[in-house]
Homo-oligomer: A and B are copies of this chain.
Amino acid sequence: MISVRDAIEITLANTPRQKTIETEFTRCIGAVLAEDIVSDIDMPPFDRSMMDGYALASDDALLGAARLQVVGFIPAGSYPKFKLQPGQAAKIMTGAPLPEGADAVREVEKVRLHDQGRVVEILEPVKPGLNVVPRGAEVQAGEPVLAAGTYIQAPIIGLLAATGKVNVKIYRPPNIAILATGDELVDPHIKPMPGQIRNSNSFQLQALCTRLGLNSTILGVAKDDKNALRFQVVQGLKYDVLLMTGGVSMGDLDLVQDVLKDLGVKLFYQKVAIKPGKPTVFGKIGERLVFALPGNPVSSATVFEVIVRPALRKMMGYPVYQNPQVTAILTEYFANKSQRENYHPSVCWYEDGQFFCRPLETRGSGDIASFARSNAYLICPIDRTEMFENERVQVLLREDFYLT
């Protein structure tokens, strides 16, 4: 049995980053850049007004107290087709390009209008460049704007569009196969007979992958029979990652491990000192990864969160592998009899500048109704048998924790 920290480290050390592919930029949200991005244009592409006001030549109003003829209006998003002559000005909006002949903008609050807006009186002195962002001041054509390794959030999709980068190299998101094992499993639409339970693991894992932006294929349920299992595992090993559930805590019947070893999968560990989730197997064949998770849905989801998610994020090229851990005030006493690092389903919330964590009551690690109400895990270290009310504790947040 290895520690949680070792399991994560061994997993990440054996997890390769994915190869790159070139993809249309609108399909890249949630992926990671695999190349530096260079702008093909200056930003802004013109001298841009920072204010609503009047564009003018500063020469005309270096000392203020000038009266200029208003010869045009430039809304944001238009381009002036006229040129300012000495003694002329143009009404201009924030974000609009200066007309030729202008080098400054006097904001609307510091002018007075005459002759029904045909003449503008500039009330204060104007220096060259006043209230103007010069062309190329933010980014110059040929300059890098984004570095490889950047997580592609929505503003970056906007920046790719603005820089004309319509095909982008990203780390190819891994494809995932999901395989449940167990004679007792039936599909969700079937009412279980005594001794049967519904397969919920496959769908929960698929949902976790979906929220990570990953496509997954459910391969169905393999029976507890070596040949049947072997056939299904062979299908699963055609994917970048195979996630299996069940069949790893069978005690004397280590069916899954046997099949994986027979197929040449190198196994790195088979037990982790985590509660829930002790019987967790990690293996690799070529560049493909296999995780064999416990059959208990709370356990498999927890191990996904703590060990599998970081590996998938590393494959995707992410700069950060795990969901955030925060320090929270524990709202009640917690006992840890497991002699393992305990990830206990909890409710975490943020109030008055502080996180709070309330561990949920469960009856053993199979209580999926209680688990479904949690949004975080209280992390109780292996050497702690108790944690106390008002203690500051570490909490692993689940994705979307604030929505639940």
For A402, what are the chain B residues with a Cβ–Cβ distance below 8 Å?
A: 320, 323-324
For A164, give its contact among B46, B139, B188, B301 (CB under 8 Å): B188
For A211, what are the chain B residues with a Cβ–Cβ distance below 8 Å?
A: 29-30, 153-154
Please state if A363 and B250 are interface contacts (CB–CB under 8 Å): no
**What CA separation (Å) do A153 and B94 show in the bound complex?**
43
For A164, what are the chain B residues with a Cβ–Cβ distance below 8 Å?
A: 188-191, 198
Please state if A95 and B318 are interface contacts (CB–CB under 8 Å): no
Interface flags for A174-206 (1: CB within 8 Å of B; 0: not) read 000000001111001111101111111111111
Please state if A249 and B25 are interface contacts (CB–CB under 8 Å): no
For A400, what are the chain B residues with a Cβ–Cβ distance below 8 Å?
A: 30, 151, 153
Does A146 touch B at the CB level, under 8 Å?
yes
- Chain B: CB-nearest residue to A144: B369
Instruction: Assign chain A's interface to a size class.
Output: 35 or more
- A45 and B192 in contact (CB under 8 A), knowing A297-B158, A402-B320? yes
For A158, give its contact among B45, B73, B158, B372 (CB under 8 Å): B372
- Chain B: CB-nearest residue to A165: B188
A147-181 contacts to B, CB under 8 A, are 150-151, 153-166
9-residue interface stretch from A36-44, A262-270, A285-293: A36-44
Smallest CB separation, A4 vs chain B (Å): 18
Please state if A371 and B249 are interface contacts (CB–CB under 8 Å): no
A16-49 contacts to B, CB under 8 A, are 25-26, 29-30, 39-41, 43-46, 48
For A370, what are the chain B residues with a Cβ–Cβ distance below 8 Å?
A: 138
Smallest CB separation, A337 vs chain B (Å): 10
Please state if A206 and B353 are interface contacts (CB–CB under 8 Å): no
- A154 and B301 in contact (CB under 8 A), knowing A44-B366, A200-B159? yes
For A133, give its contact among B301, B363, B399 (CB under 8 Å): B363
For A151, give its contact among B48, B298, B403 (CB under 8 Å): B403
Please state if A161 and B199 are interface contacts (CB–CB under 8 Å): yes
- Chain B: CB-nearest residue to A394: B353
Does A374 touch B at the CB level, under 8 Å?
yes
Interface flags for A306-339 (1: CB within 8 Å of B; 0: not) read 0000000000001110011011000000000000
Interface flags for A92-125 (1: CB within 8 Å of B; 0: not) read 0111010000000000000000000000000000
For A73, what are the chain B residues with a Cβ–Cβ distance below 8 Å?
A: 251-252
Please state if B250 and A207 are interface contacts (CB–CB under 8 Å): no
For A85, what are the chain B residues with a Cβ–Cβ distance below 8 Å?
A: none
Contacts A/B (CB < 8 Å), 21 sampled = A41-B192, A43-B367, A43-B368, A45-B192, A76-B296, A91-B251, A93-B249, A94-B364, A94-B365, A151-B403, A153-B372, A154-B204, A154-B207, A156-B372, A157-B206, A158-B207, A161-B203, A166-B189, A320-B402, A324-B350, A353-B392
Task: Sort A-B residue pairs by CB-CB distance and give the 4 closest, nearest first.
Answer: A79-B195, A158-B204, A161-B200, A327-B353
Interface residues of A (CB under 8 A from B): 25-26, 29-30, 39-41, 43-46, 48, 50, 52, 73, 75-79, 91, 93-95, 97, 133, 137-139, 145-146, 150-151, 153-166, 182-185, 188-192, 194-208, 210-211, 224, 246-247, 249-253, 295-298, 301, 318-320, 323-324, 326-327, 350, 353, 363-372, 374-375, 392, 398-400, 402-404
